[in-house]
Amino acid sequence: MDAMNVKPDRVEFYGSAVSSRLLLGTAQYPSPAILSEAIRASGAEIVTVSLRRESGASKAGQSFWSLIRELGVKVLPNTAGCKTVKEAVTTAEMARELFGTPWVKLEVIGEDDTLQPDVFGLVEAARILSRDGFQVFPYTTEDLVVAEKLISAGCEVLMPWGAPIGSGRGLNNPYGLRSLRAHFPGIPLVVDAGIGLPSHAAAAMEMGYDAVLLNTAVAKAGDPVRMARAFAQAIEAGREALLADPMETRDMAAPSTPVMGRAMLGD
C-alpha cells in the first residue's frame, strides 16, 4: 500500500478523535515532574483525573491542575471510590463543573478486595448521567448482558476490566474479552485496569480492543518514563498487528523453509 494513501488510524470517543490508543492515569507517580515526563513519553492524548478534598493550606489540587493544563491533554475525570449511585452521580456533576468536560469515567465499586464494579449501580448511574448530558465511559466487567444494558443506558464506549485495579495480572479472561469484542464490533472498547506489562496491552490490541487505559503499571515502574514509552510502543505494535491480519494458528508444524530443491545429504 502506498504510504500516501494510508488513512490516519484514529479512534473516536463520543465524536472526539485521538491518535494515541493509550489512556494514562495520573496517580501514584514519584513526583509531579516524573508524571509530566511520563505523560509526554506515553504520547497519551487523554489522561484520567479525579477530585478529592482540598485543604486550604496545601492547595495541592491547584498545582496538579496547572501541570495537567500545561500538557494540553484531554481529561477524563473518574468517580473512583464511589460505592453508591448517588455518590457517583454527585461526584460526576462536581467533576463536570470542575474540569469543564461532559466526559466521565464512571466507577461504582461493589467489592473492596477486587474493586470490581457494582454493575447494577453502574447501569443505573450511567442512565441518570447520560440523560443529564454526560458522555459516560463505564468501568465495567466483560459481561455481555451488562454491556448491552450500558449501551441501552446511553453509553457509546465500554471499558471492561482486564483484571482487578492495580493488580497487574493482565487479561484475566481473554475468552470473555474476545467475545465482548465480537458482540459489539461498532462500539469503542477500552481495556481498563489490571494491565501490568506492555505485552498485556499488546494482547488487548491484537484482540481488537480500541485502546487501553492503565495507571499503576507505569506509575509504579522503577522508571515510569521508560515504561510509558514501552507501553506506547506495545500498543502501537498490537494495533499494527491487528491491522496486518495475523496468520491462523495450527496444531502441527509446517516448514517455513521450502522443501523443494533441498539437497539430499543423508546416506
Partner 1 sequence: MKIVVNGEAADTRAHTLAELLAELGLADALVATALNGAMVRAPRRPATAIADGDRVEILAPMQGG
Beta strands 16-18 and 103-106, pairing class: unpaired
From 42-50, 167-175, 181-189, 196-204, span contacting partner 1 (CB under 8 A): 42-50
Output the nine-digit C-alpha cell for 183.
Answer: 458482540
3-class DSSP string for 173-231: CHHHHHHHHHHCCCCCEEEECCCCCHHHHHHHHHCCCCEEEECHHHHCCCCHHHHHHHH
Q: Residue 97 Cβ, how far from partner 1 at the closest point, in Å?
A: 5
The DSSP bridge partners found for residue 190 are 211
Under the criterion CB under 8 A, does residue 59 sit at the interface with partner 1?
A: yes
Report whether 183 contacts 208 (CB < 8 A).
Answer: no
103's enclosing H/E stretch is strand 103-106
Output the nine-digit C-alpha cell for 113.
Answer: 478486595
Our CB check for partner 1 shows the closer of 93 and 143 to be 93
Q: Residue 195 Cβ, how far from partner 1 at the closest point, in Å?
A: 11
Q: Residue 242 Cβ, how far from partner 1 at the closest point, in Å?
A: 26
Binding string, residues 177-196; x marks residues near partner 1 by CB under 8 A: ----------------x---
Alpha carbon distance 132, 55 (integer Å)? 30
Under the criterion CB under 8 A, does residue 131 sit at the interface with partner 1?
A: no
Alpha carbon distance 138, 129 (integer Å)? 11
Our CB check for partner 1 shows the closer of 169 and 178 to be 169
Under the criterion CB under 8 A, does residue 216 sit at the interface with partner 1?
A: yes
Sign of CA dihedral 60, 50, 26, 66: negative
Under the criterion CB under 8 A, does residue 136 sit at the interface with partner 1?
A: no
Under the criterion CB under 8 A, does residue 93 sit at the interface with partner 1?
A: yes
Our CB check for partner 1 shows the closer of 49 and 123 to be 49
Q: Residue 133 Cβ, how far from partner 1 at the closest point, in Å?
A: 14
Under the criterion CB under 8 A, does residue 140 sit at the interface with partner 1?
A: no
Q: Residue 129 Cβ, how far from partner 1 at the closest point, in Å?
A: 13
Per CB under 8 A, the list member of 11, 21, 38, 77 interacting with partner 1 is: 77
The DSSP bridge partners found for residue 138 are 106
Per the annotation, the verdict on 105 as an active-site residue is yes
Alpha carbon distance 92, 147 (integer Å)? 20
Beta strands 135-140 and 103-106, pairing class: parallel
Per CB under 8 A, the list member of 54, 111, 223, 240 interacting with partner 1 is: 54
Alpha carbon distance 249, 194 (integer Å)? 27
From 1-9, 86-94, 152-160, 245-253, span contacting partner 1 (CB under 8 A): 86-94
- Catalytically active residues, by annotation: 105
Give the residues lining the site for partner 1 (CB under 8 A): 25-29, 35, 48-57, 59-62, 64-65, 68, 77-78, 80, 86, 90, 93-95, 97-99, 165-166, 193, 215-216
